[in-house]
Structure 1
């Protein structure tokens, strides 16, 4: 998901665990009273996974050829419903007009909308106003009968200036990886901003309120109705996934895996959230580092394995990351410049003229797309309006 020019969402998936910054776990809080808790159990293995979806990122695009297109977005939303057979779309990114147009299209098509504004690298007041504007639109959709949840944002410690030292996202990443961050001070600043964002969300939206945390973030989930986790772990044994994810159910609230995925090369799942880190961007054009073996099957197998885990835990929803990444194009027959190797998308971007920034492009499904479509379709999620819980 693109947050700022020149750097992609996939470059932020490592989380605090990769930087050794996990803080002490917050104490458990009693579950909210039944009359205050939104409908839907936190966990019900008899029902399996309640909702199945995909992340759809809106943004400016890095080149003229990959700029946001309303016509392309509408075609993509139809494909998410009719071809992927998802019942939920995570509409995320920045730009209120792009977010609201995409959310409205998804709702009109009968999809459940997880609406998540993610403006970053601007002053806090701008981020909160961006959230408020998006939240007001989400509330209008909800009152019109759409199934919509509002997430106040994603991994604030990385995107909101001042929580982690650094003038921009690049500097904050370097500081995290270099271990030059005071975890306790960072946690205090994160808690303060998260509470502010939750308050803004509550002030404009009356439906389920959520937040998408990195899987090792420490969040006071009493602020939210839904526990949202960006999940990129790798374990050789299924029981380890179950053990790790089960701890998120202790709040007695619905648990949503807001992102899960991997890249398309052998060994990518073992890199966790660092699968993107295979591109040498100093070179022109950028090159893939090392001699990686492209494997769409690897990506498909990992996603379906995690779906099995989510089903067994009876989680509320899971969204695969992500539908398409236009700025990481696939170059068939040119593995050194096949930037799609670094993409988490379940479709591949193929440009008409690979070296032309203004070139048009089209997407083609990867094996993961087909694997998810079979699973989502067999679960009966496609073509069904998802009102209510």
Structure 2
């Protein structure tokens, strides 16, 4: 299979948020869906069933941030023993990285949400990458592991051929320039989504899902679990509940496959664009403006969303993300504190800040501690105040 660089989350979010891209380009309205059936959503009150975190695997931008199996194993143990999550969303590209991480998580007793996201590659390679990963997931499931398989993430930007352009940047540009026929795009998106679902079904016999953006039109009949990457901001919990209720109309369990924000004042109000505060034309890159770092802001937003998710008795919610090694924290240097632009619930700290090949370690943010308290309470069945 052809090897390809994974698409960074920031690249995707840039496309999603630019000029209200999703709402402006994608047709709105409910997808056709089967009514009722064994996958019917639970009652609208109760507790969040599974609490998790997104763990991204990839090649890394520098030798110092490249994937390390030893580091991954320590991280997965921390997800279980320190964060007290019961689920880990293993996402990214590279079948070996994905399967090694999924196997480690399963061995540690965690539920695995496995989501391969090979992008900017030929369609056949993306589907082969999915099939290889899905076959491994099925092997884990047959040996007793708790595994859900997601066939991918927001195909209309990740997969060439749905929107014109060979790279995510070209596709974003074409969308912004109006060089896209939305009807034809939706037709191609539907075709590839159905093909991916068929590949997933052919190799995996557990619950199947897909991670869609909030405004995507998806035929959820193809899947057992509705999956949504959720980055809304409202001042009141009731507004989150109202918006999330529309994703329950298909009568299927709902998983929030990503939720989170960055650690500075005002970040939640950016609705998914919190990362866009870095001037990469500067050497080294600089934080734009006079932003105020606030780990408390990040933690409070995550807790507000968890309150809403719990009130709706959702299937799962995975905080985005465990760590972002290529956005290091620089204590005492706010102009170059790239962690402010990270969604990580931990901060990456380099041993030698100016050395690209430097080793690094992570330290928990307030969001990590807040999630750990909530997740531990959920695991032990203790009540927590809304």
> What is the TM-score with the length of structure 1 in the denominator?
0.93
Contact 1:326 1:349 in 2 (8 A): yes
Q: What's the counterpart of residue 107 of structure 2?
A: 108
Q: What's the counterpart of residue 34 of structure 2?
A: 30
Aligned equivalents of 2:295 and 2:64: distance in 1? 25
Alpha-carbon shift at residue 32 of structure 1 (Å): 5.4
1:21 to 22, 25, 34: 25
Q: What's the counterpart of residue 183 of structure 2?
A: 184
The aligned length equals: 375
Contact 1:269 1:275 in 2 (8 A): yes
Listed as ranges, the matches of 1:217-236 within 5 Å are 217-236=216-235
Secondary structure at 1:13's aligned position in 2? helix
Contact 2:149 2:209 in 1 (8 A): yes
Q: Does 1:127 align with 2:126?
A: yes
| Higher RCO (Cα < 8 Å, 6 or more apart) | 1
Secondary structure at 2:118's aligned position in 1? coil
Secondary structure at 1:364's aligned position in 2? strand
Q: What's the counterpart of residue 339 of structure 2?
A: 340
Alpha-carbon shift at residue 229 of structure 1 (Å): 0.1
Higher mean alpha-carbon deviation, 81-90 vs 239-248, is at 239-248
Residues 244-287 of structure 1: per-residue CA shift (max 9 Å, x gap): 11011011111000000001111111101111111111121111
Q: What's the counterpart of residue 247 of structure 1?
A: 246
Q: Does 1:8 align with 2:17?
A: no
Listed as ranges, the matches of 1:87-166 within 5 Å are 87-166=86-165
Aligned equivalents of 2:201 and 2:6: distance in 1? 33
Contact 2:45 2:310 in 1 (8 A): no
> What is the TM-score with the length of structure 2 in the denominator?
0.94
Alpha-carbon shift at residue 221 of structure 1 (Å): 0.1
Alpha-carbon shift at residue 27 of structure 1 (Å): 4.6
1:4 to 1:311, Cα distance in 2 relative to 1, 3 A: farther
Aligned equivalents of 2:232 and 2:148: distance in 1? 25
**Unmatched 5+ residue regions in structure 1?**
383-389
Listed as ranges, the matches of 1:1-389 within 5 Å are 5=5, 8-13=8-13, 15=16, 18-19=20-21, 20-31=24-35, 33-34=37-38, 37=39, 42-380=41-379
Aligned equivalents of 1:367 and 1:175: distance in 2? 39
Alpha-carbon shift at residue 180 of structure 1 (Å): 3.5
Secondary structure at 1:198's aligned position in 2? helix
Higher mean alpha-carbon deviation, 180-189 vs 81-90, is at 180-189
1:348 to 1:116, Cα distance in 2 relative to 1, 3 A: same
